[in-house]
């Protein structure tokens, strides 16, 4: 049998009194999910030994925003190593300037001229080294994937890609063909190579511009 002393009874009464005054607090759980989608900045690259195009866009939710675009040109009179270094340095500078989260680059296709294919592959390698040197994850897409994602047609020409890039990003004017291809591969990555995903995300803005989709293509 347990016998309580007066001191024990006094302590017990104080504990009961404290418990009645301070009820246990409920745990508050907060969501770690951000209240809005985190923006992702994408650097697109259209590789070429003479001219390499670059395009930077930002994706936040279903919205695509244009950041910058341009070209990196090598001196045609310089030797090959110097030209490759020019491309490497240019890609590195663009990466530092615009601080993208990832990069997308167009894959090399086999040309009729083996020498041209080899030179293009070397230029592409220099560009990839510049991207990886900055610490970027690099994703690769074929020209067919780019055209299907941006235009909705795998045999689209450069003019059609330029037109669609201009419309999708609501640009005031058309970018050059190299910059447009670079922006196109960035758009392709932003939407996982999905044409319908690209158009669906931009549908409200396109409708306000008086545009619509017909047979997988955007028409005005």
Tell whether the model's pLDDT for residue 220 goes beyond 70: no
User: What residues are designated binding site?
Assistant: 46, 106, 178
User: What residues are designated binding site for Mg(2+)?
Assistant: 46, 106, 178
Residue 126 is predicted with a pLDDT of: 97
Residue 24 is predicted with a pLDDT of: 54
Does this model's pTM top 0.75? My answer is: no
Q: Does the annotation count 178 as an active-site position?
A: yes
Active-site choice (58, 163, 178, 181): 178
pLDDT digits (tens, 9 = 90+) for 1-15: 334 444 444 544 554
Active-site choice (46, 58, 163, 181): 46
Question: Where are the chain's structural domains?
Answer: 40-219
Active-site choice (58, 106, 163, 181): 106
Residue 1 is predicted with a pLDDT of: 39
Q: Which CATH number fits domain 40-219: 3.30.160.620, 3.30.420.10, 3.30.2080.10, 3.50.50.60?
A: 3.30.420.10
Q: Does the annotation count 46 as an active-site position?
A: yes
> How sure is the predictor about 34, in pLDDT bands with cuts at 50, 70 and 90?
low
> How sure is the predictor about 113, in pLDDT bands with cuts at 50, 70 and 90?
confident
- DSSP letters of the chain? -----HHHHHHHHHHHHHHHHSPPPPPPP---S-SSPPPEEEEEEE--SSEEEEEEEEEETTEEEEEEEEEEE--TTS-HHHHHHHHHHHHHHHHHHH--SEEEEEPPP--SSHHHHHHHHHHHHHHHHHHHHTT--EEEE-HHHHHHHHTS-TT--HHHHHHHHHHHTT-SSPPPHHHHHHHHHHHHHHTTT-HHHHHHHHHHHHHHTT-EEETTEEE-
pLDDT digits (tens, 9 = 90+) for 71-90: 999 999 999 999 999 999 99
Using a pLDDT cut of 90, give the percent of the chain over it.
61
Residue 217 is predicted with a pLDDT of: 47
Q: Positive or negative CA dihedral for 115, 75, 185, 42?
A: positive
Computed over every residue of the chain, the mean pLDDT equals 81
Give the mean pLDDT of 181-205: 69
């Amino acid at each position: 049998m347990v016998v309580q002393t007066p001191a024990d009874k006094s302590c017990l009464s104080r504990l009961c009194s404290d418990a009645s005054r301070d009820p246990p607090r409920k745990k508050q759980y907060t969501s770690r999910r951000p209240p809005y989608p985190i923006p992702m900045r994408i650097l697109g690259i259209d590789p070429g030994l003479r001219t390499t195009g670059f395009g930077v866009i930002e994706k936040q939710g279903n919205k695509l925003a244009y950041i910058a675009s341009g070209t990196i040109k090598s001196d045609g009179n310089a030797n090959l190593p110097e030209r490759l270094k020019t491309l490497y340095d240019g890609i590195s500078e663009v990466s530092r300037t615009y601080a993208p989260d990832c990069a997308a680059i167009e894959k090399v296709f086999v040309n009729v001229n083996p020498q041209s294919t080899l030179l293009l592959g070397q230029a592409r390698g220099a560009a990839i080294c510049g991207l990886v040197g900055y610490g970027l994850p690099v994703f690769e897409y074929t020209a067919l994937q780019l055209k299907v994602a941006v235009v909705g047609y795998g045999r689209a020409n450069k003019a059609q890609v330029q037109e669609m890039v201009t419309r999708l990003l609501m640009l005031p004017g058309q970018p050059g063909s190299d910059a447009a291809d670079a922006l196109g591969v960035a758009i392709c990555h932003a939407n996982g190579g999905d044409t319908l995903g690209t158009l669906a995300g931009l549908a409200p803005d396109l409708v306000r511009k008086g545009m619509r989709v017909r047979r997988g293509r955007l028409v005005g």
